[in-house]
Amino acid sequence: MTVIDEVDPESHGGIDAMAGAAIDYELLAAEYGTPLFVYDGDRMAGSLAELRGALPEGVEVFFSLKSNPNISVVSLLSAHGARAEVSSLAELHTALAAGVAPGNVIFLGPGKSEEEIEACVAARIYAVVVESLDELADVARLAASAGIRQRVLLRVNPSRPPRGAGLTMGGKPRPFGIDEEVLLAAGDLARRYRDLDIAGTHAYLGTRILDAETVVDNTRRALDLAERVAAATGVDLSAVDVGGGLGVAYFHGESDPDLQGLREGLEPVVSAFRARHPGVRLLFESGRYLTARAGTYVVRVRYVKSSMGVRFAVVDGGTNHHMAAVGVGSFAHRDFPIVPLTDPSRPATGPWNIAGPLCTPNDTLGKNVTLPDLRPGDLLGVERSGAYGPTASPGLFLSHGFPAEVLVHDGRARLVRRRDTPHDLLRQQRHHQYGQ
């Protein structure tokens, strides 16, 4: 099942982009233009290997496509052992077209359409994660109509909020999942929905978590919830999705999660659960951790100026491509790391404000960033930009369109998304002429 009938022929080619272990950003910018997202495929594969090594044996990593749904990124991570967590029809098609086996795909998110549910059933994906009792009934109806016994997971909104998350996804009024109290009082769901395979539970408590002990605590709570919900609803546990939410450091004073501590904390929790429930499939979701550190948003300085004593470098890309760079989970602007890519050995001379080309003062990628003297034509790189870049940004604002994306892997750079052109932006519109 796929709706991706053709691949841009430009994406099949590539150029040598590596000199030793360093990506040649000047070469990539000359070949593909700027603004440009560059993804280091080796770093992505390495992050996946690190995470799999930090999880107890048998815990499977499901890549959250929402963090970076580029089909080549999904294909690369799938080739290195990642499964897929999707939340839209297009993401489902992407995962399957990228080579992820249907049995390694889950679909979650509130407000699923009948078309999305029917597509999940037709593709025989591993599980639909239901977010309400009404949705459970809808999946049962549509699966029965197709003559298929569909597996589902019950997403639980726990009664107690998590700690240490940049953004909490449960523990308070949320559109996600079924409140813990509602599920515990729902009765024998397994008997009520005999034509469904209600396999277990899903609990995603928070995101951008940097503290390993918080992930361990959330996992412990998710497994406890699974046991209590199963006992109350008659579900014979065969799968539990413990969420994930592992973050990366973006800002001053932050550190990436301690993976050794994560392994040491999770091992006894998972071992004790497996002793009680041997053979249960355990799912761990990860998006940001796998992709963020592997991405660089490359922009070129168009001109420099001073305004009331403040130095500005106006660049050719901005928050329309990288809204996350204005501050993730923060009410205050905090900068992603920004580095010079043109002659990076030049000494820093003081602070710069890095502004994009949009007609709004909010289009600022960096404030008071310590950099060398900048000149028109210089390249700058916004690091840790591999997650929640173009697809989480208002790319159509001022009709600039979306930037190109390049994936570098094994010393070879390949265009994996061409940049939008004015023609691309206009061709989906319909012109009805008036006044003639």
Q: What is the pLDDT of residue 16?
A: 77
* pLDDT for 263 beyond 60: yes
Q: What is the pLDDT of residue 15?
A: 81
Percent of the chain at pLDDT exceeding 90: 81
Cα–Cα dist 357/313, whole Å: 11
Closest residue by Cα to residue 178 from 135, 221, 219 = 135
Mean pLDDT value of segment 218-228: 95
Between 53 and 163, the higher pLDDT residue? 53
CB of 165 closer than 8 Å to CB of 174: no
Angle at 76 between CA 64 and CA 95, to 5 degrees: 50
Percent of the chain at pLDDT exceeding 70: 90
Mean pLDDT value of segment 220-242: 96
* pLDDT for 207 beyond 90: no
The pTM assigned to this predicted structure is 0.92
- Lowest-pLDDT choice from 3-17, 167-181, 336-350: 3-17
* Cβ partners under 8 Å of residue 95, min gap 6: 65, 74, 78, 84, 86, 105
| Residues forming beta bridges with residue 364, ordered by sequence position | 355
pLDDT digits (tens, 9 = 90+) for 49-95: 999 999 999 999 999 999 999 999 999 999 999 999 999 999 999 99
The strand pair at 59-64 and 197-202 is best described as unpaired
* pLDDT for 11 beyond 50: no
Q: What is the pLDDT of residue 123?
A: 98
* pLDDT for 10 beyond 60: no
What does pLDDT average to over the chain?
91
Q: What is the pLDDT of residue 335?
A: 80
Q: Alpha carbon 33 to chain centroid distance?
A: 25
- Lowest-pLDDT choice from 157-166, 385-394, 419-428: 157-166
Q: What is the pLDDT of residue 175?
A: 65
Q: What is the pLDDT of residue 330?
A: 46
DSSP string, 88-108: SHHHHHHHHHTT--GGGEEE-
Q: Where are the alpha helices (DSSP H) in 247-377?
A: 259-276, 288-291
Q: What is the pLDDT of residue 324?
A: 83
Cα–Cα dist 282/203, whole Å: 12
Q: What is the pLDDT of residue 3?
A: 47
Angle at 27 between CA 23 and CA 29, to 5 degrees: 100
Closest residue by Cα to residue 250 from 349, 342, 365, 405 = 365
pLDDT digits (tens, 9 = 90+) for 104-134: 999 999 999 999 999 999 999 999 999 999 9
Which token pair is 376? 């028109």
* pLDDT for 18 beyond 70: no
Which token pair is 352? 């710069």
Mean pLDDT value of segment 283-290: 97
* pLDDT for 6 beyond 50: no
